[in-house]
Amino acid sequence: MADKKRQSTDPDDWERFWAGSVATQDPAAIQLPALDSLWATLLAGLSFEESNLIAVELASGSGSVSKYLMKHPLLESATKVALDASLSALTQTQFDECPVAGNLDRLPFADRSIQLLTSQFGVEYAGLASIESAIECVAPNGYFVFVMHIKDGAISAECGSNLVAIESFVETGFIDAAKTLLDSLWGNAPEVEQLDNINRFKRAVRATEATLLQLPDGQGRDTSLQTYNAIADMVEEPRSFDPDVAGTWFLEAESELLSYCSRMRQMRSVALSRQGFSSLVDKAIARGFHISEQGVLKNERQPEQKAALAFYVVGQRREMALQ
């Protein structure tokens, strides 16, 4: 898929993620220590003439960048604005950010009004054209600092692995077999029907357990295993669960699994190619920005493989660009 022809994101998928409570919300699952040192390096080189700074994070989630800004002496007291399409994400900000609900392709900021524009794994979802429009919000002598998904990098590969894991789990038929069995048990279906459903469920269990054993470690496997265990508990003690409550749980669980798959596809489809990244840098330069930092973040945990994690770029708008 070309960089300018990106799959559009569905805000509902991300809203389900931030509002949900499944394994994909485990904070340990999304920690990348390499990002800590990268942001420290990128922010250390910034200098500002003004004291009343405005720092905007695009596609902020719960505020990925704010924790790094708090460690910078000039940015700790800045007015921090978190923009995201998910209201649930914005309720989880932790550093007194001003929450703004909105989309990347329609930013509610005036041109040349923001001293610092940031994004960590978010701005690229809008595509190159919208990124180019976004940097017009940067004020004279202000900066943009972006960390973005890289195509064919380690994160992209992990997303692909997680996608395969969830899809493989769903395709075993375990969820449907469990729902059918529980409905027959709760509804006091004829014994012959219950026995047929029990046998179908047992076949699904064998297929699912074999699949789970083959899945690679990661969020996809963890989420599948958590869902499997929750359903297994219901089947083991069906009379301990309220049918209506369980029915709602099944609907929400299936919705979250589908949304998870959608997010994994999105994260892979929006990842920038090296050509797309170079094009972004060139266009920023053409718009009067001085690029002080750019490159590929490597995974420090795998020095022998030097796995690529992300692109990063820092650009400062020169006053000479004002004509």
Average confidence (pLDDT) over 84-89? 90
> Which are the contacts of 314, defined by CB distance < 8 A and separation ≥ 6?
42, 45, 46, 143, 144, 145, 291, 292, 293, 294
The DSSP annotation for 258-270 comes to HHHHHHHHHHHHH
pLDDT in tens, 280-309: 999 999 999 999 999 999 876 655 566 899
The per-residue pLDDT for 304 is 55
Model confidence pLDDT, tens digit, residues 41-82:
999 989 987 778 999 999 998 898 999 999 888 888 899 999
In CATH, which of 3.40.50.150, 3.90.550.10, 1.20.140.10, 2.70.98.10 is domain 32-153+271-321? Answer: 3.40.50.150
pLDDT attached to residue 217: 86
User: Strand pairing partners for 317?
Assistant: 289
| Structure tokens that stand for 196 in this block | 């047929």
What tokens were used for 309?
């994690």
Return phi, psi of residue 98, to 5°.
-85, 110
Mean pLDDT of 34-38: 90
Q: Residue 103: what pLDDT?
A: 87
Backbone phi, psi, residue 313, to 5°: -155, 140
- State residue 305's pLDDT score: 61
Give the mean pLDDT of 104-120. 93
- Return the pLDDT at 50: 76
7, pLDDT greater than 50: no
Percent of the chain with pLDDT over 70: 89
Q: Does 17 have pLDDT greater than 90?
A: no
Strands (E), 34-183: 54-58, 79-84, 98-101, 114-120, 138-149
Instruction: Please report, for the chain, the start and end positions of each structural domain, with discontinuous segments joined by +.
Output: 32-153+271-321, 156-267
Instruction: Flag whether pLDDT at 184 surpasses 60.
Output: yes
pLDDT tops 50 at residue 112:
yes
